[in-house]
């Protein structure tokens, strides 16, 4: 385990180009890291043209990276970091497993175009890992030795950070919390092809399916926004869909707390902001399964929003923890 490299007032300044490649857009930023903190200096965005395949997307990512540097011609660039979907071998910068959302993404060499363009070190990591690392170092997890992030949106993912170090696992696949089996999802097909995973039940699309089965109404179940609005306005079927999903998610979190005993759980993703009753159900689910010794672990929502993945990618590109880790555990 690495000790924290940066101590307040003693750390050098690092300039990093960070990228976050999503299904609809590519975000890029010039990030400055110093004294255990990170600041986005400038940012730019371009659409993700999935029809262009991996080569076209990476070419667009290089262009938007140039854009964020164009206003800072004298900056000394130290590294490039990337957050992207799929399972990524960070030692090589290669996507080893991915869905078919982006043609040719599996097997894509993320590193080559950036090392050729910028001649600085390049590192890439999974987007959920980047989000969790950014939140742990510079957001809700700051001041805590360990944090588990649970992201609930179109899917369910997560990450675990301890003493500033991200747990990636032997295959780069650690944190796939959505693929934990739960009895409530029995018979439901998951995006990974298996049956009975929590993602099939409790992700945004899963909650919509529950609401439709409960006859929440066509107007309420058009999409996630209409369902959330219906729940807030008192549609009991919509509320029950969020309750079922939240409670099941909480049970998974409670079981993971029994295993990992982290300082803090941080919730992120669109579902966390959809309907207020969902979080109450999550906490009830945690209480159902968590042992007494971990039952009071704080559960909070993320604070860095869309910046978290960029900040996590920037920190990861420098290959060391970048936060000030307290000498003793911070109690809530």
Q: Dihedral through CA 105, CA 111, CA 115, CA 117, nearest 10? A: 10
The pLDDT value recorded for residue 2 is 33
The pLDDT value recorded for residue 11 is 62
The pLDDT value recorded for residue 86 is 92
* Beta pairing partners, 28: 19, 44
Q: What average pLDDT does the segment 297-317 reach?
A: 96
pLDDT tops 60 at residue 1: no
pLDDT tops 60 at residue 3: no
Per-residue pLDDT band at 23 (split at 50, 70, 90): confident
Q: CB-based contacts of 17: which residues, under 8 Å, 6+ apart?
A: 28, 29, 30, 31, 65, 68, 69, 77, 79, 80, 81, 118
pLDDT tops 50 at residue 108: yes
Each domain of the chain, given as residue ranges in start order, spans 13-131, 143-302
Q: Which of 247, 212, 213 is closest to 226 using CA atoms?
A: 212
The dihedrals phi and psi of 231, each to the nearest 5 degrees, come to -65, -45
The pLDDT value recorded for residue 36 is 83
The pLDDT value recorded for residue 137 is 95
Instruction: State the pTM of this model.
Output: 0.89
The pLDDT value recorded for residue 330 is 41
Least confident piece of the model among 93-102, 225-234, 245-254, 291-300: 93-102
Tell the burial category of 32 from Cβ atoms under 10 Å away from its Cβ (0-12, 13-18, 19+). Answer: middle
pLDDT tops 70 at residue 237: yes
pLDDT in tens, 114-161: 999 999 999 999 999 999 999 999 999 999 999 999 999 999 999 999
The pLDDT value recorded for residue 236 is 98
Domains 13-131 and 143-302 share a fold: yes
Separation in Å, CA 175 to CA 118, 179, 236: 31, 9, 33
As given in the structure block, the two tokens for residue 87 are 């399972």
pLDDT tops 90 at residue 63: yes
Q: What average pLDDT does the segment 85-110 reach?
A: 91
The pLDDT value recorded for residue 149 is 98
What is the second-level CATH architecture of the domain 143-302?
2-Layer Sandwich (3.30)
Percent of the chain past pLDDT 70, that is, above it, reads 93
pLDDT tops 50 at residue 170: yes
CATH number of 13-131: 3.30.420.40
The pLDDT value recorded for residue 51 is 87
User: What does pLDDT average to over the chain?
Assistant: 91
d(CA 208, CA 110): 34
Buried residues in 107-134 as b, exposed as e (16+ CB within 10 A): ebebbebbeebbebbbbbbbbbbbbbbb
Q: What average pLDDT does the segment 84-99 reach?
A: 93
């Amino acid at each position: 385990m690495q000790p924290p490299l940066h101590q307040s007032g003693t750390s050098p300044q690092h300039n990093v180009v960070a990228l976050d490649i999503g299904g609809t857009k590519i975000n890029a930023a010039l990030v400055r890291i110093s004294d255990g903190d990170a600041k986005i200096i400038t940012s730019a965005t371009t659409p993700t043209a999935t029809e262009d395949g991996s080569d076209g997307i990476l070419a667009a990512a290089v262009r938007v990276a140039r854009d964020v540097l164009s206003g800072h011609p004298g900056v000394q660039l130290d590294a490039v970091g990337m957050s992207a979907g799929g399972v990524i071998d960070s030692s090589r910068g290669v996507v080893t497993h991915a869905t078919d959302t982006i043609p040719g993404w599996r097997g894509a060499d993320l590193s080559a175009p950036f090392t050729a363009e910028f001649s600085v070190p390049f590192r890439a990591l999974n987007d959920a890992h980047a989000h969790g690392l950014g939140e742990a170092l510079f957001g809700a997890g700051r001041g805590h030795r360990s944090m588990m992030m649970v992201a609930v949106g179109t899917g369910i993912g997560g990450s675990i950070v301890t003493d500033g170090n991200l747990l990636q696992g032997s295959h780069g696949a650690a944190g796939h919390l959505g693929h934990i089996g739960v009895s409530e999802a029995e018979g439901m097909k998951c995006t990974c092809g298996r049956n009975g995973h929590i993602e099939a039940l409790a992700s945004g699309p899963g909650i919509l399916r529950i609401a439709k089965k409960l006859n929440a109404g066509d107007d309420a179940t058009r999409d996630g926004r209409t369902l959330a609005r219906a729940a807030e306005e008192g549609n009991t079927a919509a509320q029950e869909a969020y309750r079922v999903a939240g409670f099941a998610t909480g049970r998974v979190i409670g079981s993971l707390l029994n295993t990992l005993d982290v300082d803090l759980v941080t919730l992120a993703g669109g579902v966390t902001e959809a309907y207020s009753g969902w979080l109450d159900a999550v906490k009830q689910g945690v209480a159902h399964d968590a042992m007494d010794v971990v039952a009071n672990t704080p559960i909070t929502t993320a604070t860095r929003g869309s910046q978290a993945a960029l900040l996590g990618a920037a920190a990861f590109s420098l290959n060391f923890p970048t936060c000030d880790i307290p000498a003793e555990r911070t109690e809530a």
